[in-house]
Amino acid sequence: MSAQAPVPAKSSHAQRAMRFVLPVIVFAAGLLAWELVVRIREIPPYVLPAPSIIVLTLIKDWAVLSQSLATTLATTLEGFVAASVGGIALALLFNQSKWVEYSLFPYAIVLQVTPVIAIAPLLLIYLEQQTAVVVCAFIVAFFPVLSNTTLGLNSVDRNLAGLFQLYGASKPQTLRFLKLPAALPYILGGLRIAGGLSLIGAVVAEIAAGTAGAGSGLAYRIAESGYRLNIPRMFASLLLLSLAGIVIYGVLALVSHLVLRRWHESALGKEN
């Protein structure tokens, strides 16, 4: 009874390969065109650096840039953990008491719809810089965790809930054995969104903080390189930020897949 290994047809194998190969070809072609245009038209690097120069800058400035990458990633991680724990905990609290939900949910929305770029300068006044940056990442990332977890906890099968009631399940038992597992796919979906958003939050806060002068994250490097017209380093920092975002998304998608692969539709093959 191992339904774990669906046998894909040859064509779908080829299709899967093409889904990977085609974007790579487009990417390579784009880079080549970029390189050629810059060389033929002799565009100076402070206007538009060629890809080769960006890569060289990345290697040359690696000591500075890797330091900045580590700083930004640490901020992102702290914001993400705070958003995950806070979002899930608040959703559990809402689920236990309607009154708490009615009292607090509007403020969660207010926090979500107010642009973080507008709040960041205020936070930087009242909080220590490192704390302020993490709080920005948290504000941006926590709402999808909260709303997805709330949705998941409310999506429990009615008959299963009746079954738990029939067998006299206590509230903690119902939460642990029924509500949390049922909400898990939703929670993981929320976390996947939150991962990318906490990076955005961290970057926004760093740029806001950058004017205060003491930041050292990748976003700060971008701002700083901009002032100094060090455009190749600007591109190199941007490249690292993009890669960081892709890796964060990939890791969270992988975790979600591994956790859900035995039972949830989203992680199963499309064939059934």
Partner 1 sequence: MTESKTSPAVESSLTALAVSLRGVTKTYDNGVMALGPFDLAVRNGEFVSLLGPSGCGKSTVLRLIAELSAPSSGTVRVARHEGEVLPGHGIGFVFQEPTLMPWTNVRENVRLPLKLAGVPKAEGRARADAALASVGLADFADSFPRELSGGMKMRVSLARALVTDPDILLMDEPFAALDEITRFRLNNDLLALWRSLRKTVIFVTHSVFESVYLSQRVVVMTARPGRIQADIRIETVEPRGEEFRTSAAYSDYCRRVSAALAPSYSEQSTL
Residue numbers of the site for partner 1 (CB under 8 A)? Answer: 1, 3, 157, 159-160, 162-169, 173, 177-178, 181-182, 184, 262-264, 268
Q: How far is the CB of 260 from partner 1 (least distance, A)?
A: 8
CA atoms within 13 A on the CB side of 254: 6
Comparing CB distances to partner 1, the nearer of 152 and 196 is 152
Looking at beta carbons only, is 15 or 266 nearer to partner 1?
266
Q: How far is the CB of 265 from partner 1 (least distance, A)?
A: 8
- Smallest gap from residue 161 Cβ to partner 1 (A): 10
Cβ distance 72 to 107 under 8 Å?
Answer: no
CA proximity to 217, closest of 95, 150, 129: 129
Q: Nearest to residue 154, comparing CAs of 109, 201, 119, 187?
A: 187
* Smallest distance from partner 1 to CB 7, Å: 16
Provide the minimum distance between the beta carbon of 114 and partner 1 in the complex, in angstroms, as a whole number: 37
Q: Cβ 182 to partner 1, closest distance in Å?
A: 8
DSSP letter string over 27-41?
A: HHHHHHHHHHHHHHT
Instruction: Give the residue with the Cβ less far from partner 1, 16 or 262.
Output: 262
Q: Give whichever of 111 and 182 is closer to partner 1, judged by the CB atom.
A: 182
- For partner 1, give the closer residue by CB, 40 or 166: 166
Supply 178's token pair.
């029924």
Q: Which is nearer to partner 1, 128 or 157 (CB)?
A: 157
